[in-house]
């Protein structure tokens, strides 16, 4: 995508990307009814509130998807896809659904980012952002939802501070942070809280061990049905 959009100078303005998003027509206030001015404090506050609401709704949706039988199947696919297929489920269907939901969430988040920053360029699609997302999850804690949120907030706060004060060392700090997390806190902040027996760390944990009893029962039922059929 980076190379594609970067090469479309006539449509997407090349490396500069789409710029000069000065107004946002869906909001009614503005000059001559042309829409809200993006840089206006009132508009930025509205975008901030909408972003928080979207974050809360996304978290609720993901909690709902990862709870119960569906959530256990997702963890089972992650841990042992062959076993899930042997149990009679098609992992492809679940992967496509999760990919579609993830894509929709990322698309809406990208729209919020664009209207708040006032521009979007091919640089937004390079490998750096993908690496940053891995670091967010590693810092917060894999296998948790609240951990991803915490990791995102902490890393981006550090990025804002360091990139303004020490712009030249941010990338070095990012690499060092990833190494420290992998070596010292391999399970992230939420994993550390879990080990300390702090309830906040346990409540949001998705445990792979919770997956298999359900699948074992499914396998036993299928085996019984097969025996009866024979």
Q: Which of 141, 174, 168, 176 is nearest to 156 (CA)?
A: 174
Flag whether pLDDT at 177 surpasses 70.
Answer: yes
Flag whether pLDDT at 9 surpasses 60.
Answer: yes
Q: Where are the domains of the chain?
A: 1-125, 126-217
Q: Could you tell me if 145 and 58 are in contact, meaning their C-beta atoms sit under 8 angstroms apart?
A: no
Q: What are phi and psi of 171, to 5 degrees?
A: -65, -35
Give me the mean pLDDT over the 219-225 stretch: 47
pLDDT tens for residues 12-54? Answer: 666 666 666 666 665 555 444 556 677 677 778 888 898 999 9
Give me the mean pLDDT over the 222-227 stretch: 48
Cα(81)–Cα(87) distance, integer angstroms: 10
pLDDT tens for residues 111-145? Answer: 888 877 777 777 777 777 788 888 999 998 888 88
Residue 59 CA: distances (Å) to CA of 80, 145, 152: 25, 7, 13
Residue reference for tokens 């894509």: 103
Looking at residue 218, its pLDDT comes to: 52
Tell me the whole-structure pTM to 2 decimals: 0.70
Looking at residue 112, its pLDDT comes to: 84
Q: What are phi and psi of 36, to 5 degrees?
A: -70, 140
Report the residue count for the chain: 230
Mean pLDDT lowest among 21-35, 48-62, 171-185: 21-35
Cα(160)–Cα(80) distance, integer angstroms: 39
Q: Is 124 exposed, middle or buried (0-12, 13-18, 19+ CB in 10 A)?
A: middle
Mean pLDDT lowest among 16-20, 59-63, 70-74: 16-20
- The residue that leads in pLDDT, 13 or 189, is 189
Flag whether pLDDT at 209 surpasses 60.
Answer: no
């Amino acid at each position: 995508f980076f190379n594609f959009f970067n090469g479309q100078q006539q449509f997407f303005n090349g490396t500069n990307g789409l710029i000069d998003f000065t107004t946002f027509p869906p909001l009614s206030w503005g000059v001559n009814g042309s829409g809200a001015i993006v840089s206006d404090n009132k508009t930025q506050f509205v975008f901030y509130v909408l972003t928080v609401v979207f974050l809360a709704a996304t978290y609720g949706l993901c909690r709902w998807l990862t709870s119960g039988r569906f959530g256990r199947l997702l963890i089972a696919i992650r841990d042992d896809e062959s076993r899930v297929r042997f149990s009679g489920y098609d992992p492809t269907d679940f992967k496509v659904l999760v990919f579609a939901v993830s894509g929709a969430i990322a698309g809406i988040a990208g729209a919020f980012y664009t209207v708040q920053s006032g521009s979007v360029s091919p640089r937004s699609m390079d490998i750096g952002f993908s690496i940053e997302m891995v670091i967010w999850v590693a810092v917060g804690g894999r296998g948790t939802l609240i951990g991803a949120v915490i990791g995102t907030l902490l890393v981006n706060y550090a990025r804002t501070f360091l990139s303004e004060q020490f712009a030249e060392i941010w990338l070095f700090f990012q690499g060092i942070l990833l190494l420290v997390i992998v070596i010292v806190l391999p399970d992230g902040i939420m994993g550390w809280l879990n080990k300390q027996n702090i309830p906040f760390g346990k409540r949001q944990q998705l445990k792979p061990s919770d997956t298999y009893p359900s699948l074992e029962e499914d396998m036993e039922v299928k085996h019984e049905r097969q025996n009866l059929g024979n």
